Structure 1
Amino acid sequence: MKNVVLSIGSAFPEFNKKAVVSIEKGKEFYDLSYEEIKNSGKWMVMFWWPKDFTFVCPTEIAEFNNHFQDFEDREAVLIGASTDSEFVHAAWRRDHEDLRNLKFPMLADTSKSLANELGILETEEKIAYRATFIVDPQGIIRWVSLYDLNVGRNVKEVLRVLDALQTDELCPCNWQKGEATLVA
């Protein structure tokens, strides 16, 4: 049976999961709930990767981190996630130079329940596909992208789409922040 990916217009599922927020001993873990994010009144960008201690994933995670302030400037909460445990996330952050100073939480969906609800759980290995969700402050999914496990995504495109969605206007092909929108 194939998964059905939650798509545009769907409510993002509730969750309460462990997240890695630091590599400082005793301050590594945080219980992150979707209710907390919704109560912030901000947009949410949640991106998923298949496995920790792999090759493509850290390039994406580091690039999202490089653009962390860009998401903050757009009133968007940035969250990274995979089905690995919080202990594996913490070990990977300590081990990988590019991941030590992450500014966003690494969500641990160890039960795979959130990935399953989102419809992004790969059927054979039960790992998450490389997926990105942009969710508006009302909790509605406004954009979804899925990539093959072998292909990294483009963080600047995620920002471009977030900018376009936040205009609440018609944005033409290749539109960039600051350009004119369309009048219907």
Structure 2
Amino acid sequence: MLSLGSIFPTFKKTAVVSLEKGKEFHDITSEDHKNADKWMVMFWWPKDFTFVCPTEIAAFNAKYDDFSDRDAVLVGASTDSEFVHLAWRNNHDDLRGLKFPMLADTSKSLAEELGILEANEKIAYRVTYIVDPQGVIRWVCANDLSVGRNVDEVLRVLDALQTDELCPCNWKQGEETLNV
């Protein structure tokens, strides 16, 4: 698995960005967040039309403004196609109003380069990356297929990374950092 300190791979993928006819799809690239001088939080899920995945996607969407306030671009991704993403968004109440793109890695090339494909089905594990504006991976968290992640923890880590200081265990935004 590609990890801390590595440069996030270069990519250009189609994503679902809207439910409006004719405006559903847009290409997302690895340069988008860098060109905007923003952090990127990319989170992967195994499959559309499943059970744990929509709870995570809805939780990230509920915190979208919190990521945006931290100058972070939020991107959701799986190895399903953009057409499956669109169908799922149209058929799931919690996904219709998503504010972030659902990236389609149908070739599985990005997931493979990241090293996050499950061996048997070749679906992505539940992996979250925080990437700084220079494209460097600063945090990775991987969950087993059956366990959802904690969006508040992703925000907490993003806050800590953005202080560029030493943050103690369980540190939260607004608390003192370590002075050494």
**Cα offset, 1:175, TM superposition:** 0.3
Q: Which residue of 2 aligns with 1:157?
A: 153
- Rounded to whole Å, the distance in 1 between the matches of 2:10 and 2:166 is 30
Unaligned runs of 5+ in 1: none
Aligned match for 2:132, one of 109, 129, 136: 136
Of 66-75 and 23-32, more deviation after overlay is shown by 23-32
Aligned CA-pair RMSD: 0.4
Aligned match for 2:65, one of 46, 66, 69: 69
Where 2:13 maps in the other structure, the secondary structure is: strand
Work out the percentage of aligned pairs sharing the same amino acid: 76
Task: Specify the code of the residue in structure 2 equivalent to 1:108.
Answer: A
Q: What residue is the counterpart of 1:88 in the other structure?
A: 84
TM-aligned CA deviation for residue 24 of structure 1: 1.1
- More deviation, 31-40/81-90: 31-40
- Helix, strand or coil for the counterpart of 1:64? helix
Give 1:103's match in structure 2, choosing from 85, 94, 99.
99
Question: Counterparts in 2 of 1:37-56, with a 5 A limit?
Answer: 37-56=33-52
Q: Could you tell me which of 164, 170, 174 is aligned with 2:166?
A: 170
TM-score between both structures, scaled by the size of structure 1: 0.97
Q: Distance in 2 between matches of 1:122 and 1:131?
A: 11
Q: Would you say 1:33 and 2:29 are equivalent positions?
A: yes
C-alpha distance in structure 1 between counterparts of 2:177 and 2:33, whole Å: 29
C-alpha separation in 2, matches of 1:36 and 1:143: 19
* Alignment-derived partner of residue 110 in structure 2: 114
Give distance in 1, aligned partners of 2:169 and 2:14. 38
How many residues matched?
180
What is the distance in 2 between the residues matched to 1:44 and 1:32? 12
